[in-house]
Amino acid sequence: MFNKIFITALLLLIGVPAVAQNNMLTPYGDYCKECTTYGTCKSILPLNVAIAAIRQYYRDKGCEIGRLRHKGRFIEAEIYQDNRLVDKVLFDRKTSRIRSIM
């Protein structure tokens, strides 16, 4: 009896994170390809270039961008899939790094 419970618990512990990871829309610390290498943009991306990069990044994932808010070198964006809010991200125009803030 104990062995069955232990094996079931072990499978759940291993399987749940794997399923969650595969469904992640914005992996922690992902970045757009606008800069040559992560964190090495020569200067802050112009606002229109940054917005185009965000739109392209999420278009490739089958998503659309909703409301955008510009805060200094950062852009906050709402990400929609099938008309449903699925993520809210912060885009750093200096590094092109994207991270979920939801």
Residue 95: per-residue pLDDT = 85
Distance (Å, whole) CA 79 – CA 75:
12
pTM, entire model: 0.68
Cβ neighbours of 54 (radius 10 Å): 22
pLDDT tens figures, 72-101: 999 999 999 999 999 999 999 988 888 998
Residue type, 57: Y
pLDDT tens figures, 17-59: 443 444 456 666 666 766 766 566 778 889 999 999 999 999 9
List of E strands, the chain: 30-31, 64-71, 74-81, 84-92, 97-100
Cβ neighbours of 25 (radius 10 Å): 16
Q: What is the dihedral of CA 43, 49, 50, 54, to 10 degrees?
A: -150
